Amino acid sequence: MVCLQAHLVVWVLSVMVYAGLFLPELLWAIVWWPSRPARPTRSTRWTSILIGLVMMMPEF
């Protein structure tokens, strides 16, 4: 049970790190490119999140 909680804490911290890395990029795209659609930035962000989840899966 403690091992599962430790893995959960590591997973939550990794998600927070990914959010901290890619949320400023999303905000920058919104501020500097108001005319362009946010679809490429959103897809890049979700792709990075999925890659992070796949990388964290073998620990469970």
Q: Provide the token pair at 1.
A: 């049970």
Would you state the pLDDT for residue 60? 47
What are phi and psi for residue 36, nearest 5 degrees?
A: -85, 150
- Return left, alpha or beta for 36; rule: phi > 0 is left, psi -120 to 50 is alpha, else beta: beta
> pLDDT tens, position by position, for the chain (60 residues)?
667 788 888 888 887 777 777 777 766 666 665 555 555 555 666 777 767 777 666 654
Residue-level pLDDT at 19: 72
Q: Which residues contact 55 (CB under 8 A, 6 or more apart)?
A: none
- Residue ranges in 1-60 assigned as alpha helix (H): 2-32, 39-56
